[in-house]
Structures are given as structure tokens and as C-alpha cells.
Amino acid sequence: MEFKALEIAEILGGTVEGNPEATVTSFARIESGKPGTICFFANPKYEHYVYECKADIIIVNKSFEPKQEVTATMVRVDDAYAAVAALLDYVTAKKRSYRRYRGCRSRVRWSAKVGKKVYIGDFAYVGRKAQIGDYTKIYENVYVGDGVKIGSHCIIYPGVRIYPGMVIGDNVILHANAVIGSDGFGFAPLEDGTWKKIEHTGNVIIEDNVEIGANTCVDKSQMGSTIIHSGVKLDNLCQIAHNVEIGKNTVMAAQSGIAGSAKVGEHCIIAGQVGIVGHITIADNTTIGAQAGVIGSVKEEGKTLMGTPAIPHKEFLRSYAVFKRAGK
């Protein structure tokens, strides 16, 4: 990449303060910026780096008022954090090329329907009556089962396994070794102490603009569908059990798990190593702190929960203060 400050401002809808001809060729964190790089400043605790940084261009908020001289050219935008994300998307899109490719060691069944300019890497398998949308990339060693539907502009990274009958929307990213559609953990106890497997006959539906991290598992439902609604982002090593439903634009950090038939609302934030029991409902706009254990439904929107069992944030802090005093 090579961009001038004026070009960047035009892309981001910002203004230039400094040299509009300043040119950069790569990105850098503000604490390690050097000539030829572009950085961004959004968190006030890093302000001192703005004055020390050697980068040629820094993206800053329009509201930022320097307390010292800034040697770099500043591109002022409404939201620096969102702007750098948009710029990274722009750069990635320019680099991305779409071309039809089918590895000679891949196997695509004759009844599968493959859209235009689809990439299918070596040792990938696409099953009977599967459907692959336009401009989708299926990398090496991917398994796409019979009857799977994958939308357009998706990226399926190496090692992903998509069981038969699963449905995936447009602009979905599945990172390496994610498993979509494995059986849920369902067993019925028998009188002799053994366990009888409960067959899972449903599927998984992943809507548009979802991203699922590496080694994450999304189990298919016993009946009906496990549903991941549009805009959801799941980190690496998450577990989504059978018949779970996750609302639009909810995010979940690594090593978190949701047990069967739980329903998580829209715009929720679930931190790392959170556990959510089955058959409960989490209201919209709920935030759950790291390592919390949610054992009951959350009915009120906008709550922040912490601890195990999870309780409202302020209650947790008061309780923690008591715990600290009790230990002395």
C-alpha cells in the first residue's frame, strides 16, 4: 500500500492538518511508529506517544487538542478507532483478488452448484447438492458436506468442517478448524447407568456478516436450528451448544460457552471464559464480565454482570469488598 495524507482523508471523510503530501506504506501501533507508517490515537492514556511518535501520519479525533507540538501530519476524523478499521478494510479490499480456481487435488461433486470466481483449494471437498455463492474462498483441507449452502463473499479457512445440511449466509468468515454442525451433547440416562445418545436431526443457520474464530464449535440442534444471527462475532475456542440462538451484533471472547437451548439477545458483550447455562434467556445489550457464570435468565436490558453466579456489577464490587475484609 502507498497512500498520501490527502487520499486517506478523502477515504475517511476527514481533514488534513499538516503536510497533505505526506506518504505512508504501512501501519504501525502508535508506540512503535516510524517514518513511512500511519498510526491512530483514540485512547487518552496514550497521548504522550502522539508527541514522541516518528510516524508520518496519525489519525486522531476531531476533538483532540494537542498540548505540545505534533511533528506528524494529523488526519482528523469523527472516530479514530472506527476510521482505522475502515481504512484497514479498504486496504484489504484493494489487495483482494477474485479469480476462479479449483485445486487439482480438490473434489467437488457433480451435483454441487458453484458460483462465479469461487476459489477451492487442494484437498477441499464439496459434497452433493452443496451450493457455494459467488466470490467465496474455500481454502485447503476444508470439508463442505452434502446439501450445505454457503453464500457469497465468504472466507472458509483451512481445516474448517461444515457438516451436511448447514446454512451459511453472505460475507461470513470461518477461521481455521472451526466446526459447524457437530452433534450437540445430548444423552439420556438409562436404568443400567449407561447413556443413550439422543440423535440431532436439525442444523445450524449462520446469517450474514458473521465471523467465527479458530477451533470454535457450533453444534446443530436436536430439532429445528441453532441460529447465529447477522453481525455476530465469536472468538477462538468458543462452544455454542445445540438449539442456542445468538442475537444480532453480539460478540463473545475466547473460551466462552453457551449451553443448550439458551437464547442470547442482541448487542450483548460476553467476555472471555464466560459460562452460560442452558434454557435461559439473556436480554439485549447485556455485558458479562470475564469468567462469569450465568445460571439464570437476565430479563432487564443493559445490565452488566460479574462473578459466579453472575450478579449485577455494583453488587459484585460491594461483595468483593466484603470478601477482601474477611480474608484479613
Select from 142, 171, 200 the last residue of a domain.
171
Q: Which three cell numbers stand for residue 42?
A: 483514540
Nearest to 164 by CA among 213, 130, 200, 210: 130
Q: What percent of the chain has pLDDT over 90?
A: 90
Is 285 among the domain residues?
A: no
Select from 120, 143, 171 the last residue of a domain.
171
pLDDT of res. 327: 62
Is 113 among the domain residues?
A: yes
Determine which one of 200, 242, 279, 313 is catalytic: 242
pLDDT of res. 328: 63
Q: Can you give the pTM of this predicted structure?
A: 0.85
Nearest to 241 by CA among 255, 254, 222: 222
Q: What is the arithmetic mean of pLDDT over 186-215? A: 96
**What's the pLDDT band for 205 if we cut at 50, 70, 90?**
very high
Q: What is the arithmetic mean of pLDDT over 53-69? A: 94
We report the CATH number of the domain holding residue 104 as 2.160.10.10
**What's the pLDDT band for 320 if we cut at 50, 70, 90?**
confident
**What digits encode the pLDDT tens for the residues 266-289?**
999 999 999 999 999 999 999 999
We report the CATH number of the domain holding residue 12 as 3.40.1390.10
Is 286 among the domain residues?
A: no
**How many C-alpha atoms does 211 have within 13 Å on its Cβ side?**
9
Domain residues for 82?
Answer: 3-95
Select from 68, 95, 122 the last residue of a domain.
95
Q: What is the arithmetic mean of pLDDT over 71-77? A: 96
- 23 and 87 share a domain? yes
- 134 and 86 share a domain? no
Annotated active-site residue 200? The verdict is no
How far CA 277 is from CA of 22, 63, 187, 310, in Å, comes to 54, 44, 17, 11
Is 287 among the domain residues?
A: no
- 115 and 45 share a domain? no
Parallel/antiparallel/unpaired status of strands 73-77 and 269-270: unpaired
- Whether 263 has a pLDDT exceeding 70, the answer reads yes
- 156 and 131 share a domain? yes
**What digits encode the pLDDT tens for the residues 103-139?**
999 999 999 999 999 999 999 999 999 999 999 999 9
- 115 and 60 share a domain? no
Q: What percent of the chain has pLDDT over 70?
A: 98
